[in-house]
Structure formats: C-alpha cells, structure tokens
Amino acid sequence: MQKSPISKYKPYPVVDLPDREWPNRVIDSAPIWCSVDLRDGNQALAIPMSVDEKVEVFKSLVDMGFKEIEVGFPSASETEFAFLRRLVSDNLIPDDVYVQVLVQCREHLIRRTFESLEGVKNAIVHIYNSTNPLQRKVVFGLERDEIKQIAVDGATLVKELVATVPDTHIRLQYSPESFSDTELEFSLECCEAVADVWEPTPDKKIILNLPATVELFTPNVHADQIEWFCRHFSRRESAIISLHTHNDRGTGVAATELGLMAGADRVEGTLFGNGERTGNLDIVTVGLNMYTQGVHPNLDFSNLNQIREMYERVTRMDVHERTPYSGDLVFTAFSGSHQDAINKGFASQDDDSTSLWQVPYLPIDPKDMGRNYRAIIRINSQSGKGGVAYVMEKEYGFNLPKEMHKELGKAVNRIADEIGDEITPKGVYSCFNSEYINILKPLEMVEFRSERIDDDLVEVWCVVNHDGSTKNLRGTGNGPIAAFFNALEEINISDFELLAYNEHSLGRGADSKAVSYIQLKNKNTGARCYGAGIDTNIALASIRGVVSALNRLIGNRY
C-alpha cells in the first residue's frame, strides 16, 4: 500500500444537494423487481449455465413472483439466442411476465435482438452504452456529443424495429452504463435525448436504468445521485427509474435501499448477489429486509432452502455461511448469552403465526422462509447453559430443570474444549447419557421392585452392584424413594438429602418412557448435583435418577 499522503487514489465528488429529502423517507412498498440472474449472473460464472439449467432458473424465478426477467443478450451468442427461442417454443413465458433482452447500441446487434423476439408476448428491450469519462477517453476515444449520438442512434433504430414484431408488446429501457461514474448532467443529457426519440407518456413509460456498474462511493452519495436525477429529468411522470447496483465496496444492498428512498421505482439484481467481481445486488436480502419491516416484497421466498439448492447446483457457486437469511449459520447462536435469550424468546413467543415476532437476536422467523429451528442453537466451547438446554428440549424432548442447565452445560463445554470443535446435537445427547444415564459406578441397579404396604408405607427390594459386590437390599418408607434411601443404609450410603424431584414423559403412547431429574445434597459437604433416570416405569425412572445423582456426588462429577 502507498504510504500517506496517497496520490494514487482520490475521493469521488459528492452531490450538491443540501435540501435532499431521502433521509426522511421510508420504504413502504415493494419496487418493481427485475432478475438479471440469466444475464449478469450467468456471465460471471466460470462454467455458464446450459440451456436446460437456464430453463430451470427461469421457471424458479417465475414461481418466486418475478414479473420482469432479463433472459440474456440474444445477439451475443447462439446459446443466448437459442435459450429465448426455447422459452417461446415451449410456451414457458406466462402472459404477465416480461422477458428483458439486453443489447448494446450497435446496429447489427439490435437487429439480431429483434429477430429473437418473434412470438414473445411481452418484452423489454434494454439498450445501453458507456458514458463515463474514463471509458470515453480510454476505450472509445470519443467526446460527449459522440457518446450521446450512439445512444440516440440506438434508440432510433429500436423505435423503427418495434413495428417488425407487431404481436409483441414492447417496453423500452435505456441505461447510461457506469452512471455511478458519469457526470450527473451528462447522464441526464443522454437520458433526455433517448426520451426525445422514444416519446414516453404516463401510460407508456420509459425505463431509465441508472447502474452503479462499479460501486465507487458511500451509499448516501448514490442516493443523492438518484434523487438529483429524479428531480431534474423532465418527463419524470413518464419514466420508471431503475436501480442496478454492484457490490464493489460491500454496500450494494444499502445503496439500493437508499436509492429507493431517493425515489427509484425499480430494482435489478440477482439471487444471492451473484455477479461480476464482488457481485450484483442480492435481491433476496433486500426483499427480506423489507419483509422484516412489515412490507411484503411481492416475491415468495417461503422455500428459501429449495431456492438456494437450485442456485448452488446450476451456478456451481456456494452461498456463504453468513449470507443474510440464507446462509447455514444465519440462524445459529454460539454465544451462551445469545443462546439463553433465544431459548427464552421462543418460550414466550405466541404460537399464533400472525403475532408480533419478538425473539432476541432473530429479526425474522425462520419458518417464514421454510427454514426450521434445528440448527438455531449450535454448541462449542463458548456456548452457555441455555443453548445446551435448548438442544436437549427441541431435539430430544428433555425439559431439564433450570438448575440442571449449568451442570450439563459445564460438561458439554469441557468436551468442546477437549476436541476443539463444535458439538452437534447428537454430541450433546451423548454427553448427557454419559454424565447422567450411563454412569454405573460405584452403584448399579440390577433389579428393583416395590410394594405399597398401606397408605403410608412402601417396601422395596432391590439387587445392586456396589464397588464390585452384589448386594440384596430391603427398605421401607413413605414412598419408593424414601424406602430406597433406607435400603441403601445397609451398604453405608447415607447422609444424602433429596432437594428436588421432577419428571415428565418422553413421547406419547402406552410404551413411552419417563425421565426423572433428581437433585441430591451431601449433608456432610454441602455438595449438590442432579441425576437423571429413564425407564418405562415411572417409579423405576425415579430410582434410576437417585442412583445417577448418588454416583455423580460420590464420584465428584458435578
């Protein structure tokens, strides 16, 4: 990197708009969406999509609710041309969907583009030419008037050729490419010149697409550009102002949102932001951002996992784990405090799907996108007791007492530290079993039966293994647990106090199991811990819970 002072780069100028209005506006309705996955997205792939793959993407976009879909650059290659013809021949274009075709302002390309439209019911012809100073100088070697004339000539030819496809309803679109890096006055001049040729009306609007072909400055400057243009274009009521942001600075979503606040009506972008360099605008993110504010995007992302699977398969690209809404880790929480808050949020959330969504750390209900809660809580050495308890409840049906959360969380964190990796829900369950269920020393229950002698007395008989020896024990008490404690005195296990007892069913049906949670205290040391027992017989489940707690106390496993 160049040391300061930096001479290699300079800041881009801001827009003189002291009375800007966009900062006080909100997005309260969905824009017109245009997917450019099949053009901008496809051209950015190392292995472009086949015609069959493009057809699959097109169908998916229609299913999501897109009414405008850029299907390609049919004059650029036979594959692009053939794809549009396939859509027509197979009658795949719904009557309410406009297919958009992109073409440079070059005569032979424009003519070939119109040939591709035969049989199309509704189409948007999108012409463009580069207008920014750098390309005028370096690429074309042309002055401003010559660049504007290219746009005018292209618009004139398009207007003439509309008559060659009388059965196609044509809408016209123009882009001053690299609007973001073009003088605002010159972008306006080119758009006014094209509008003079096409003569739009409020009933037959022109689409003026103002692309941030390369993102060069902060989103607020982009918003200023859009508001300035909307104020100054002479036929504003006859124009649809369209955004097409890229993500070179990582703020393509923000630039689009501020651009909508600044007066734009339409958005071009791709699923998950696929596109050249750092990508195009991610329409999924912008749409679901709106949804979290109570504004329906008029796009259906209720099967987001399926959309992502299709995208990854046909593009050979991966959706990053942290991509908003769709990434693998978006609805996960490793932090213990986050896990605990999420757990409590779910517990307090009203089951009514129309109730206000209020779960900490989750700005959107994953169910709304067809995602589930299985992976919301994931466990590693940084996790807390709340996350562990959540996994046990949601994955396996164990409603652990609150004081037990810390015990199990500590055991799980110890294992996570040892392996240096995340612990899956299965690993959490395995830890629970090893800490509470499969702990057989120094005391193991071999046989147990009980009988109520009268209303106030229960007698138990049991066979246990204790320190390697088999013992037959007998005791009485006012209940099975009290009788079992009295029986244990025969092998010098005493001085333990029952502090808490909880139980519940695991599953439903006659053959479902019960689980007990028993908290004991060592009267001599004051140490306390929980045990757990599982059995189809609820009385035996409680005895197994006592044995578990005793083994943990005696073995200092708490």
How many CB atoms lie under 10 A from the CB of residue 78? 9
For domain 27-315, the CATH superfamily is Aldolase class I (3.20.20.70)
The whole-angstrom separation of Cα 374 and Cα 404 is 22
What stretch(es) of the chain map to CATH 3.20.20.70?
Answer: 27-315
In the chain, list all ranges with CATH 3.30.160.270. 443-554
What pLDDT, in 10s, does the model give residues 202-220?
A: 999 999 999 999 999 999 9
**Predicted TM-score (pTM) of this structure:** 0.77
pLDDT at 491 over 50: yes
Average confidence (pLDDT) over 240-246: 98
Burial class (CB in 10 A: 0-12, 13-18, 19+), 117: buried
Residue 25: which pLDDT band, with cuts at 50, 70 and 90? Answer: very high
Q: What are the C-alpha distances in Å from 542 to residues 117, 433, 459, 476, 516?
A: 76, 16, 15, 16, 5
pLDDT tens column, 390-409: 889 988 999 999 899 989 98
Question: Is the distance from CB of 245 to CB of 252 less than 8 angstroms?
Answer: yes
Identify the pLDDT of residue 334: 76
pLDDT over 70, % of the chain: 97
pLDDT digits (tens, 9 = 90+) for 80-101: 999 999 999 999 999 999 999 9
**Is domain 443-554 given the CATH code 3.20.20.70 in the classification?**
no
pLDDT at 556 over 50: yes
Q: What's the confidence (pLDDT) of residue 396?
A: 92
What pLDDT shows up at residue 367? Answer: 92
Max CA pair span of the chain = 108
3-state SS record for 362-429:
ECCCHHHHCCCCCCCECECCCCCHHHHHHHHHHHHCCCCCHHHHHHHHHHHHHHHHHHCCCECHHHHH
Confidence band of 373 (pLDDT split at 50, 70, 90): low
Q: What is the pLDDT of residues 253-262, one digit of tens each?
A: 999 999 999 9
Q: Count of alpha carbons within 13 Å of 523, Cβ hemisphere only? A: 6
Per-residue pLDDT reduced to its tens digit, 177-195? 999 999 999 999 999 999 9
So what's the pLDDT on residue 375?
44
Q: What is the mean pLDDT of residues 367-382?
A: 70
Q: For residues 194 and 174, is the Cβ–Cβ distance under 8 A?
A: yes
Residue type, 145: D
pLDDT in tens, 445-475: 999 999 998 888 999 999 999 988 999 999 9
By percentage, how much of the chain surpasses pLDDT 90?
A: 81
Do β-strands 513-522 and 528-535 pair in parallel, antiparallel, or remain unpaired?
A: antiparallel
* One-letter-per-residue 3-state SS of 259-289: HHHCCCCEEEEEHHHCCCCCCECEHHHHHHH
Answer yes or no: is pLDDT of 378 > 90: no
Cα dihedral sign, 202-205-208-209: positive
| Position with higher pLDDT, 382 vs 57 | 57
538-548 pLDDT per residue, tens: 889 999 999 99
Alpha-carbon gap, residue 152 to 156, rounded angstroms: 6
